[in-house]
Amino acid sequence: MPHTAPTHAPESIPLWPGRAAPELRLHRPRRPRSRPAPALVVLRGGGYATNAGSGGGSAEWLAKNGFVGIEVDYRVRNAPEAFLAPYADAARAVRLARHHAARWELDPTRVGVLGYSAGGHLASLLSTQPALHLDPADDLAGTVSARPDLVVLGYPVISFVEGYRPGGLAGSAESFFSRSELPEDLRRRFSNELHVTPEHPPVFLWTMRGDTLVSWSQSQRFAEACTAAGVPVTFKLFEQGAHGMGLALGDRSDAGAWTEQLLAWLTARWPQFPTE
pLDDT at site 82: 64
Q: Which residue from 41, 196, 170, 223 is spatially nearest to 116, judged by alpha carbons?
A: 41
pLDDT at site 7: 72
Strand ranges across the sheet with 23-27? 11-14, 23-27, 68-72, 37-43, 106-116, 151-154, 203-208, 233-238
Strand residues in 203-274 grouped as ranges (E): 203-208, 233-238
Query: Do the Cβ atoms of 159 and 193 come closer than 8 Å?
Result: yes
pLDDT at site 113: 98
| 11-269 under CATH 3.40.50.1820, yes or no | yes
Question: What whole-number distance in Å separates Cα of residue 178 and Cα of residue 234?
Answer: 33
Question: What whole-number distance in Å separates Cα of residue 166 and Cα of residue 217?
Answer: 8
CB burial class (10 A; 0-12, 13-18, 19+) of residue 169?
Answer: buried
* Backbone Cα Rg of the chain: 17
Q: Left if phi > 0, otherwise alpha if psi is -120 to 50, otherwise beta: which for 39?
A: beta
Mean pLDDT per 10-residue section of the chain, whose length is 276 residues: 66 96 94 82 93 96 96 83 85 98 96 97 97 94 96 94 55 72 83 96 96 90 97 97 94 95 95 60
Query: Do the Cβ atoms of 86 and 132 come closer than 8 Å?
Result: no
pLDDT at site 180: 72
pLDDT at site 166: 47
Question: What whole-number distance in Å separates Cα of residue 194 and Cα of residue 206?
Answer: 19
Strand residues in the chain grouped as ranges (E): 11-14, 23-27, 37-43, 68-72, 106-116, 151-154, 203-208, 233-238
pLDDT at site 6: 63
pLDDT at site 168: 54
Question: What whole-number distance in Å separates Cα of residue 29 and Cα of residue 64?
Answer: 6
